[in-house]
A and B are shown apart, each in its own frame.
Chain A
Amino acid sequence: MRRIQILSDYGMPGVLLLLCLFFSVVTLEEQHPEGEDAANRVAPKIAQQVPQDRPLVIVARPTLRDQAFARTAKALLQERGYRVLAVIHGEPPVIRLRLQALADSAAVPAALVTVPDFRLPLQSIQTRIPPLAQIPVIVPDSYRWPTFLLRDNLINVVNQIVVIAIIAIGMTMVIITAGIDLSVGSLIALSAVIAARLIAGMGGTEASTLALILASFAAILACGGLGMLSGVIITRFSVPPFIATLGWMLVASGLAYIISGGQSIYAIPDRFVWLGRGTAFLGIPNAVVLMALLYAAAYVLMTHTVLGRYIYAVGGNPEAARLSGVRVQRILVFVYTVSGLMAGLGGIVLASQLKSGAPTYGLLYELYVIAAVVVGGTSLSGGEGKIMGTLIGALIIGVIQNGMNLTGVETYTQKVVLGLVILGAVLLDKWRSRG
């Protein structure tokens, strides 16, 4: 029994850890150093392979990191007594022209130095310039490390599920009350389109920061309003949540197409990507920070407040809840409003990430959100579930999708695997709770 207790406490986080471990192992690959780090690694390697005061040429692509590489490498090599004939920056055609010019002036270097990512293109350029064809291309040594565990990738994983995770907060509450909200996917599109349209109307790419904030709040509130209407229809007229939110799903999607005229709206200032792409705190994307704050707030709400206990009570047994004085209808309207607000916020985050609003956003997101909630251990029959479980569920989905992209699994296979994993996670959960 104790083992089962442990499994039910740590089941899903355990699955998440196992998945991370698995993808770390399969993505263990050569990693290519970049920028100054690459320059520091390449200098001693050249010292071993090329005698001093021989001429070298440094080749780099036109990016900031490559420029840093070229600058540092040049300084380090000159320090060691090498002659740096030229530093060539540019796109491949430019590099080819410059190298050709070098070869024509009979200035043949002893080696070409570049970053590992550009080794293959450089070699292919080299073979087309006969005098240079035999010259070695020296790049810093690679090291082995799981691509999955790269800082950029871990941020990717969280960034990729941030929209789903935010909406899943509202969905968890809805599902705990034994309901469902199918409208969230369409609300994403609606919110993104309303915000983009308002911004376009308030100056477009010249819009002020205040306009951006106002437009975002207006869009979120509009979605919250639609969510509240769902709640009212469900409670006042005893319409099943499935049907009521299905209706709003179509309405919201249609409205998004009408407001946008079916086009994506992109007259938005660059500052708007602050929320989705910016980083204000330790290099963590702002949207991820926002998600963490929302989860903390929802956790407190669900575990430490009367309102939270009422939500569980309504889902567990609405009649008993009513008899013990809980205003069931108000609680239901509240959770659908929260779900609408969260979907609206998700739409703003997505619009910010993509710097545009289009009615095609959020396609099938309701299903991913529900999957995240269910994988996270919330029961569709209501009354039980944990907010933090939902976060784990969303992360599981994110890790699987990212891992499969990294390992080059085809789109169709990805769907099959993702579906199996969702089914498997839920079955595991069933067996676990049965003992």
Chain B
Amino acid sequence: MRTLRLALIGVLTLALVQACGKKEQNQNDSSRPVIGVSLLTMSHSFFQDLSKAIKAEAEKQGFDLIMVAGEFDPARQQNQINDFIVKRVTAILLCPTDSRAIGTSVKKANAAGIPVFTADIAVLAEGVSIVSHVASDNYQAGRLAAKAVLEAIGGSGKIGIIDHPEVESVILRTRGFMDELNEQREKNGVEIEVVSRLSGGGVKDKAFKAAEDMLQAHPDLDAIFAINDPSALGVVAAIEKAGKSARVRVVGIDGMPEGRKAVRDGKIYAEILQHPQDIGRRAIQAIAAYLSGEEVPPKILIPTSIYRQEDAKKDPMLATAK
């Protein structure tokens, strides 16, 4: 028993030492600025691409990184920022888990003289200072999505939206979507009616259920706009289950590999591509510029683009990854 116990203690200590030791060497090098990064999550290919781009650009600029994720928990992210402040990082880059609740932490970083930047999701709390916010132009993405829907179903029809209204970026997307629809309605006289708007929580399983209900309630639906890829894929599954693949068109926003594949296979009509690589790169560049005393614009918007079946067929990402 005692040997077992000792072995267990040994293994646990090793696990801790391994985990903590790995990052240790390069952090003691005080000649490189350390950037504390807290993302929304790591379990979404958007944020994985974002984090890769952040790592690559940080390497180029000579920054060390501490990269963690709040995993949708505002309290956890608050703790991570408090730890950054104790660590005295040179700058902080955030994707807030909650645009308001993060305010108290940002205030603390401000008081400690640590400049704060945000990527993808903005801070909406009052009385805090954010040097620069780098994000997809979500409003423009929403407008593009509306264009894609019109393109898919022609001048008239009934559509539904799978929403996730808790998140600021999604609010902008749906606002852009509605503005474009209204504009088209006035200008070109298209007769598009949004008959249903349900929350899919931004995740596949909930979007699937929401889309199922939507299809039940509105059997004559022509298209569904899903505010991100997991939602769009959930919608596709619901449409397939209802046997309505021929009738109902889907438009999503994101450009995850799985979403792109669905576009290639004709299951999703079009995706509005975000470019997380550009967001990550520009965010780190903004930090570097600011630290060397350059003026940085308070908002850096990264444009999105429409991605249709013909784009998917030429997409190198799909040629290599099946």
Contacts and interface: CB of A to CB of B under 8 A. Distances in A.
Interface in A47-72: 61-66
Interface string B3-25: 01100110111011101111110
B interface bracket (residues with beta carbon within 8 Å of A):
35 or more
A403 interface: yes
A356 B101 CA distance: 6
B293 A405 contact: no
A414 B101 CA distance: 23
B125 A156 contact: no
B174 to A, nearest CB: 14
B33 interface: yes
Contacts of B87: 147, 406
Interface stretch (B63-71, B179-187, B217-225, B243-251): B63-71
A424 B12 contact: yes
Contacts of A407: 19-20, 23-24, 27
A409 B19 contact: yes
Interface in A389-407: 400-407
A421 B12 contact: yes
B64 to A, nearest CB: 9
A420 B15 CA distance: 9
B20 to A, nearest CB: 4
* Contact-residue size bin, chain A (C-beta under 8 Å from the other chain): 35 or more
A91 B115 contact: yes
Contacts of A160: 79, 82
B98 A358 contact: yes
Contacts of B71: 411
A360 B291 contact: no
B315 interface: no
- A interface secondary structure, majority: helix
B104 A360 contact: no
Given A65-B113, A408-B27, A408-B66, A93 B75 contact: no
Nearest to B102: A354
Given A96-B293, A120-B291, A156 B79 contact: yes
A375 to B, nearest CB: 13
Given A121-B33, A360-B166, A361-B74, A93 B90 contact: no
A273 B99 CA distance: 17
B24 A277 contact: no
A107 interface: no
A409 B42 CA distance: 14
Given A26-B20, A92-B291, A120-B291, A417 B166 contact: no
A320 B13 CA distance: 43
Contacts of B275: none
A147 B20 contact: no
A361 B203 CA distance: 18
A353 B72 contact: no
A410 interface: yes
A400 B83 CA distance: 13
Contact of A431 (B1, B21, B24, B291): B1
B98 A360 contact: yes
A93 B199 CA distance: 43
A410 B292 contact: no
Contacts of A424: 8-9, 11-12
B12 A63 contact: no
A10 B72 CA distance: 36
B195 interface: no
Contacts of B13: 22
A32 interface: yes
Contacts of A317: none
A156 B108 CA distance: 13
B219 to A, nearest CB: 28
A251 interface: no
B132 to A, nearest CB: 12
A264 interface: yes
A405 B66 CA distance: 8
B277 interface: no
A66 B22 CA distance: 33
Contacts of A127: 292
B311 interface: no
B147 interface: no
A163 interface: yes
Nearest to B66: A408
A400 B13 CA distance: 12
A403 B20 contact: yes
Contacts of B98: 264, 354, 356, 358, 360
A408 B30 CA distance: 15
B5 to A, nearest CB: 6
Interface string B287-309: 00011111110000000000000
Contacts of A264: 98-101, 166
B294 A93 contact: yes
A413 B67 CA distance: 12
A120 B291 CA distance: 8
Contacts of A156: 79, 82-83, 86
Contacts of B74: 354, 358, 360-361
Contact of B293 (A92, A263, A277): A92
B101 A428 contact: no
A52 B88 CA distance: 33
Contact of A263 (B66, B86, B166): B166
Contacts of A403: 20
Nearest to A124: B292
Contacts of A434: 1
A61 B91 CA distance: 13
18 contacts: A22-B16, A63-B113, A65-B113, A121-B33, A125-B292, A128-B293, A153-B83, A160-B79, A163-B75, A264-B101, A353-B104, A355-B104, A360-B72, A360-B73, A361-B74, A405-B79, A408-B67, A410-B67
The 8 closest A-B pairs by CB, nearest first: A96-B293, A408-B23, A61-B113, A354-B101, A63-B113, A405-B83, A407-B20, A125-B293
Interface of A: 22-23, 26, 29-30, 32, 61-66, 91-93, 95-97, 99, 117-118, 120-121, 124-125, 127-128, 142, 147, 150, 152-153, 156, 159-160, 163, 262-264, 266, 273, 277, 350, 353-356, 358, 360-361, 363-364, 400-414, 416-417, 420-421, 424, 427-428, 431, 434-435
Given A124-B292, A125-B291, A407-B23, 19 more contacts: A23-B20, A30-B28, A32-B88, A61-B113, A63-B111, A92-B290, A117-B88, A152-B86, A159-B82, A266-B125, A358-B74, A400-B16, A402-B83, A404-B20, A405-B83, A408-B27, A408-B65, A410-B68, A411-B69
